[in-house]
Amino acid sequence: MGAARTALLGLCFASIACGTPAPRGPSPGTPLASDLLASLQERTARARERSFLRPVDAYAVRPDQVPALLQRELDRLVSPAQFQHEQALLQALGLLPPQVDLRKAVLRLQSGALAGFYTPVADRLYIVLDTAGSVLTRDGPLAEVLVHELAHALQAQHSHLLEVGLGIESDQDLAFALGALLEGDAVLTELRDAQRSFHEPIPDAAGFRLLFREELDLPDLEAAPRWVRETLLGQYPSGYALVTQLVRRGGMPALDAAWSDPPLSSEELLHPRRYLDRSLRRPLRDLRADAARFAPDGGCGVVAQGSYGELGLRVWAAERGASGERAAAAADGWDGDRAWLLRCPGGPALAWVIHFDTLAEAREFARLAGGLAAEGEGGKVRRVDRSGVRVLLSSGLRAAGRTWLLEAHAGRLYTDLSTWLESHPEVRERARSLRGR
């Protein structure tokens, strides 16, 4: 199974905001043979039950070409300055250890995990030849990887989700949710092709999770920061679990429908029933706000901001020593969040406001957070406040600013991605700019 060693670069990594692209320039590597590519496109189309609308631009590269290629593609999405700002916020919150260089950690993990990728920025597919100088054939192991990446190219031709992912800025949890759906879709396409072509059984969600861990086989995987591991690699098993349930309920048409009405948060991936059962779905709570409403003085500027979701709360608790079970229990009940790092004349200020479904869940998280903020190392959270279903982790804020975030900041609710996009036209504008349209 090749899916365990692939990665999607197209979605601006779940923890990173998009930036200004570098010039497209010529592609490294060797173009794939047209007959081989056509054959694998046909297999991918059969497995996914959707037809390609146009040919795919695809290249084979050597392993020694991968680091420079990855760096080039990443620089198209995120500038070094943006990496520094995002890193500063993650470290201030305590989601990322203080000694970690985020950009290097992302590149290191991607370089180790990569067997192929599709980038919608350049609308190109790359396959990595292994060190033994493997030959691409219709039935070889690299053909599985190609089918996976061709599934992403097929998504780009039929869906706007890859474009939306390119344009998302500082909504990391939404980017994770979209990325997980697309990765789960591509994994299922690859496995359906393997079943049709080689009579291999399709694993259930638990079986795939085990297989994914076994085949990943990265020597420095455990050394990678928890936030980077969870937001990048976590898309595969969580997305596959959701997609298999969708198809079990409604076949491939149900998966097609999910392209138009995708999950909007990591909560819906961690608890698939909350996406699959319409009666359990909740609107996306967007807690964006003008930082001037709560900043400690008028000279403050926003360094970075983001939304990290239930997955972010789990990582935050785990980074402070909470067990996986305790972290998951405390994060359950998330119903929206927003974090800001401010640069102010009197020193930096930090705010992470989290909305919960119920009063009991907010109390539980505030109780846990109060102890972990005091005991844990790293991060700059100095206060934990709660009012009703709101919890605020902060430092450097005045009482009036804390009260506004806890009691007066209503935010906005969005029932689906379409309504969210209507209120955020800059997302598609940014994507078009990245793709040079």
Please report the pLDDT score of residue 391 as a whole number: 98
C-alpha to C-alpha distance for 254 and 256, rounded to whole angstroms: 5
Helices (H) and strands (E) in the chain, counts: 18, 11
With bands split at pLDDT 50, 70 and 90, how would you rate the model's confidence at 330?
very high
Of residues 29 and 397, more confidently modeled: 397
Helix 172-198 crosses helix 141-158 at what angle (to 10 degrees)?
130
What is the per-residue pLDDT across 273-291, written as a single tens digit (0 to 9) for each? Answer: 999 999 999 999 999 999 9
Lowest-pLDDT range of 124-128, 285-289, 299-303, 409-413: 124-128
Mean pLDDT across the chain, nearest whole number?
88
Kindly list the distances between the CA atom of residue 302 and the CA atoms of 25, 153, 340, in Å, as whole numbers in the listed order.
34, 36, 7
Strands of the 349-356 sheet, one edge to the other: 301-306, 334-343, 349-356, 390-395, 383-387
C-alpha to C-alpha distance for 39 and 421, rounded to whole angstroms: 37
Kindly list the distances between the CA atom of residue 43 and the CA atoms of 49, 115, 183, 264, 431, in Å, as whole numbers in the listed order.
10, 19, 18, 30, 30
With bands split at pLDDT 50, 70 and 90, how would you rate the model's confidence at 247?
very high
Residue found by looking up tokens 């496109």 in the block: 41
Residue found by looking up tokens 């969870």 in the block: 230
DSSP letters, 13-61, are: TTT----PPPP--PPPSEEPPHHHHHHHHHHHHHHHT---SS--EEEEE
Here the contacts of 250-255 (C-beta below 8 Å, separation 24 or greater) are 252/48, 252/49, 255/185, 255/188
Residue 115 has φ and ψ, to the nearest 5°, of -120, -15
With bands split at pLDDT 50, 70 and 90, how would you rate the model's confidence at 189?
very high
CA angle 335, 338, 340 (to 5 degrees): 165
Q: How many CB atoms lie within 10 A of CB 108?
A: 18
Residue type, 24: R
Quick one: DSSP state of residue 224? S
Helix 359-375 crosses helix 324-331 at what angle (to 10 degrees)?
140
With bands split at pLDDT 50, 70 and 90, how would you rate the model's confidence at 426?
very high
- In the chain, how long is the greatest CA-to-CA distance? 67
Kindly list the distances between the CA atom of residue 242 and the CA atoms of 187, 238, 280, in Å, as whole numbers in the listed order.
12, 6, 15
Query: 22 is written with which tokens?
Result: 């570098």
Average pLDDT over residues 97-107: 91
What is the per-residue pLDDT across 375-398, written as a single tens digit (0 to 9) for each? Answer: 545 568 889 999 999 999 999 999
